[in-house]
A = this chain, B = another copy of it.
Amino acid sequence: MKIAQVAPLYESVPPKLYGGTERVVSYLTDELVRQGEEVTLFASGDSQTAATLVPMSEAALRLQGEQIQDPTAHHIRMLELVIQQAQEFDIFHFHTDYVHFPLLRRIGTPAITTEHGRLDTADLKALFAEFWDVRVVSISKSQREPLAEANWVGNVYHGLPADLFALSQKPEDYLAFLGRISPEKRVDRAIEIAKGAGRRLKIAAKIDESEKDYFDLKIRHLLDDPLIEFVGEIGEHEKQEFLGNAAALVFPIDWPEPFGLVLIEAMACGAPVVAYPFGSVPELVDHGKSGFLAEDIPTAVSMVKKIDEIDRAGCRQVFEDRFTAARMAADYITLYTQVISEETVPLEREFSRGSETK
């Protein structure tokens, strides 16, 4: 199958630093190639891929600093260049939110779009009502809830290369927090849980410029405790040690996170998770098997206290069963095949049929 992957240009594929979408696109693209598909990746020019790279910008836009004042200009140009090659591909797989939607109705090539972000803003309601026919893929079922009426053709959970992390059976005694410092990630709750359980907590976290005030005002004073260690931002290659050596990952979020990548990274290392059940979390964590769900501090504390009941090899097994890149790529190949076979009428006709029903 000739597949075009269209990634955002904010980060390279994979990203040098933070960037969940571009990282997943990287895992998917490389795995599709491994499984024998013919893949072309439209992405920033500093991307590294097993697919054929078509560079759409010199480098990741976020790394170019003040040079880039208007990222939309680069994405609009990319859309044009992508669409010009429509005849070359059996299917387009977009990862660019919705900016390409009007073009989808005017090309003959089948396409799906994976939505990577949260969809619960009022702005998207009218947009998705208009684009009732555009085939979209969710990354968790909870992500769909605010836009249940969109044309969801599949739900594909993210996956990681099976060998990216290894099972670590002999952890140290600390709890781990890994993520951005931001109000919805609730590192303050993680600290409270650790203190309540009398466990050490290591915090590996990025502090965005925009969250500096929040960190200074709400978080910094909480770190002044012998149990709490702030280790700053860590890179991909440090995650195995950080997560693998953790007794558990704490994930006490306060927002409907569409997919918590760190949850499956922890599982891949054999680290169980203690997580608040918001957004995708209940779909990703098998309570009692790969960790525990808890909705308040006392419950979370008691779950931490009995974390040894969770078998670390069992966590890894859940990862291997449900969250590998191989499974993700296989799911997408099934979807591609299905969408291509459904395309018996050209999009143009299907669209006009839709217009009549309005």
Whether the pair A102, B83 counts as a contact (CB closer than 8 A) is yes
Chain B residues, CB < 8 A from A101? 76, 80
Is A121 interfacial (CB 8 A cutoff)?
yes
Chain B residues, CB < 8 A from A121? 69-70, 73
Is A68 interfacial (CB 8 A cutoff)?
yes
Is A126 interfacial (CB 8 A cutoff)?
yes
Task: Find the B residue at minimum CB distance from A99.
Answer: B76
Is A350 interfacial (CB 8 A cutoff)?
no
Tell me the number of copies of this protein: 2
Chain B residues, CB < 8 A from A130? 77, 80-81
Task: Find the B residue at minimum CB distance from A81.
Answer: B130
Chain A 77-134 interface residues, beta-carbon cutoff 8 Å to B: 77, 79-81, 83-84, 98-99, 101-103, 105-106, 121-124, 126-127, 130-131
Give A255 Cβ to nearest chain B Cβ, in Å: 14
Chain B residues, CB < 8 A from A69? 121-123
* Distance A63 CA – B80 CA, assembled complex (angstroms): 32
Whether the pair B123, A76 counts as a contact (CB closer than 8 A) is no
* Distance A130 CA – B105 CA, assembled complex (angstroms): 22
Question: Which of B76, B122, B123 interacts with A98 by CB under 8 Å?
Answer: B76
Whether the pair B355, A124 counts as a contact (CB closer than 8 A) is no
Q: Which secondary structure dominates chain A's binding surface?
A: helix
* Distance A187 CA – B184 CA, assembled complex (angstroms): 41
Task: Find the B residue at minimum CB distance from A105.
Answer: B80
Are A67 and B122 CB-contacts (below 8 A) given A73-B127, A127-B76, A131-B80? yes
Is A72 interfacial (CB 8 A cutoff)?
yes
Whether the pair B98, A73 counts as a contact (CB closer than 8 A) is yes
Chain B residues, CB < 8 A from A71? 123
Chain B residues, CB < 8 A from A131? 77, 80
* Distance A252 CA – B154 CA, assembled complex (angstroms): 58
